């Protein structure tokens, strides 16, 4: 049976099938939940929003959806930047916002078990109180959920030293499309039994199952980092400093680049007090007491050779202030106009070519493109800033977006280092994966979601 009725009818049937679940069909509430932060991605009209609290409730919703062939779109905090959590027509939006239990922290084994709706920063503060540290720190960490972070395999500023979210996910509980509950991975430090299904679900963007519990690895609390900042009058020298710093025997724990467009956007809202003429900034940190001095000195020497002016933070507070400038770039750019945000990642040695190429694309298309990012990883966020109300400007932004993606691939990179494919880049995935890669992806999707109800139209264009 296929259920196609109005949201009200579907809501009533859903409430009967999953009586303990909060089901909302109020159009105003649905409208407020239909999209993430990728403002240019299309979103459909959902039929209902559910807010389960338990795995059993999620399973009941998915059994109902499978029986009636209704699409289900999992949603965390909808901070995604690729339209992955956007509604599709007639969908049940499955929000994890009420799944916020931290079930346990095992301080001796340095693991934690959590529900997916826990906010990253809340969790990080709780584990810190146990003398532990959860490194994955997307710039959205005060808003985004641990489930959303796992489903996008989110990165962040600490990735350079510690790795991405998947590196800290030991195991998952996942509700499959038909309502069966799958456990992947382990809680032990090592384990190679069977295929690595945990890695498969990390980054699957809600297309293979709904993550209902995560077993996360923790580390001992990190030392307070030491921070340095370098001011430049152009991007090229800053890129060369990145290459040189990353070649050194001891590496920083963070190395971020802020470009002229982003810096100007942030400066419009607060006086940064940077040296006159500064257009580009590099920020580095080391949280390794044994090597911090060497890292900061190496950074200062490299920046000096490239004509940069260097300031070493005189304490943690000043370090946090430098980093606050970087963390505020995303929201500052959103205030400048519509954003079409890229996430290309290239081999570090090609960073200078990427940045120069983005500059050429901006000049050619007449589109303003910011190019801030995690320079130490070669993962930059070229962001087209434009007036969405002007069709010609929107079209030019779309062309610039495609050209940047082509450039990233041509430089041996990937179309997404951390934000995921979602709707935004699904047409580009085939180019990166190739026909065999795409076929294998399609086979996995068909095995786990044979009816194609899980987040349809995301990641894989034809599913
Ligand atoms: C200001 C700002 C800064 C950002 N900085 C970064 C950054 O530094 N690094 C980075 O990687 N990203 C960054 N992002 C993007 C975004 O925050 C991340 O992608 C984040 O991981 C999304 O989490 P969320 O809870 O908001 O998930 P959502 O946006 O709600 O969902 C993201 C995807 O995961 C799926 N999903 C969510 N929960 C589940 C679940 N329980 N089970 C299965 N699928 C699920 C959704 O269907 C969707 O496909 C930033 C965003 C903003 C707005």
Rounded to the nearest angstrom, the distance between the alpha carbon of 263 and the centre of ligand 1 is 24
Rounded to the nearest angstrom, the distance between the alpha carbon of 146 and the centre of ligand 1 is 9
Q: What is the pLDDT along the chain (463 residues), one digit of tens a residue?
A: 344 445 678 889 998 999 999 999 999 999 999 999 988 899 999 999 999 999 999 999 999 999 999 999 999 999 999 999 999 999 999 999 999 999 999 999 999 999 999 999 999 999 999 999 999 999 889 999 999 999 999 998 988 999 999 999 999 999 999 999 999 999 898 889 999 999 999 999 999 999 999 999 999 998 899 999 999 999 999 999 999 999 998 999 999 999 999 999 999 988 888 999 999 999 999 999 999 999 999 999 999 999 999 999 999 999 999 999 998 998 899 999 999 989 999 999 999 999 999 999 999 999 999 999 999 999 999 999 999 999 999 999 999 999 999 999 999 999 999 999 999 999 899 999 999 999 999 999 999 999 999 999 999 975 4
Mutate to test the pocket of ligand 1, among 50, 75, 429 (most ligand atoms within 8 A of CB): 75
Residue with tokens 């109300």: 389
**Atom nearest to 209 CA in ligand 1:** 43
- Residue 83 Cβ inside 6 Å of ligand 1? The answer reads no
Q: Bridge-partner residues for 254, per DSSP?
A: 285
- Residue 38 Cβ inside 6 Å of ligand 1? The answer reads no
- Residue 156 Cβ inside 6 Å of ligand 1? The answer reads yes
- Residue 152 Cβ inside 6 Å of ligand 1? The answer reads yes
- Residue 375 Cβ inside 6 Å of ligand 1? The answer reads no
């Amino acid at each position: 049976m296929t259920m196609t009725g109005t949201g009200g009818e579907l809501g009533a049937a859903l409430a009967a099938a999953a009586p303990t679940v909060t089901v909302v069909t109020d159009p105003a509430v649905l409208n407020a939940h239909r999209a993430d932060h990728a403002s240019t991605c299309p979103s459909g009209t959902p039929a209902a929003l559910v807010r389960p609290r338990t795995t059993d409730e999620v399973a009941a919703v998915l059994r109902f959806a499978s029986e009636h062939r209704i699409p289900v779109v999992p949603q965390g905090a909808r901070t995604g930047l690729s339209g992955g959590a956007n509604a599709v027509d007639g969908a049940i939006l499955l929000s994890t916002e009420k799944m916020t239990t931290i079930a346990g922290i095992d301080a001796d084994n340095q693991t934690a078990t959590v529900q997916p709706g826990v906010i990253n920063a809340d969790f990080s503060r709780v584990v810190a109180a146990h003398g532990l540290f959860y490194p994955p720190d997307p710039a959205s960490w005060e808003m985004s959920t641990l489930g959303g972070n796992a489903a996008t395999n989110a990165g962040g500023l600490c990735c350079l030293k510690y790795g991405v979210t998947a590196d800290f996910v030991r195991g998952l509980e996942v509700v499959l499309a038909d309502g069966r509950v799958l456990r992947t991975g382990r809680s032990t430090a090592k384990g190679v039994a069977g295929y690595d299904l945990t890695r498969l679900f990390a980054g699957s963007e809600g297309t293979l199952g709904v993550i209902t519990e995560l077993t996360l690895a923790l580390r001992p609390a990190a030392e307070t980092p030491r921070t340095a900042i370098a001011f430049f009058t152009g991007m090229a020298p800053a890129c060369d400093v990145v290459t040189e710093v990353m070649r050194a025997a001891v590496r920083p724990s963070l190395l971020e680049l802020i470009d002229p467009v982003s810096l100007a956007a942030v400066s419009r809202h607060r006086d940064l007090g940077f040296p006159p003429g500064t257009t580009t900034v590099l920020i580095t940190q080391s949280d390794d007491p044994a090597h911090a001095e060497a890292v900061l000195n190496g950074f200062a020497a490299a920046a000096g050779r490239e004509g940069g002016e260097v300031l070493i933070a005189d304490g943690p507070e000043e370090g946090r202030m430098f980093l606050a400038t970087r963390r505020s770039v995303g929201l500052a750019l959103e205030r400048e106009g519509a954003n079409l945000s890229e996430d290309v990642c290239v081999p570090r040695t090609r960073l200078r070519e990427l940045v120069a190429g983005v500059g050429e694309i901006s000049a050619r298309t007449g589109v303003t493109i910011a190019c801030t990012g995690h320079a130490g990883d070669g993962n930059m966020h070229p962001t087209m800033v434009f007036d969405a109300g002007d069709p010609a400007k929107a079209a030019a932004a779309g062309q610039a977006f495609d050209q940047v993606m082509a450039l990233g691939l041509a430089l041996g990179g990937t179309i997404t280092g951390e934000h995921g494919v979602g709707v935004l880049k699904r047409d580009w995935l085939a180019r990166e994966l190739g026909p065999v890669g795409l076929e294998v992806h399609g086979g996995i999707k068909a095995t786990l979601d044979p009816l194609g109800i899980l987040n349809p139209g995301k990641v894989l264009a034809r599913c």
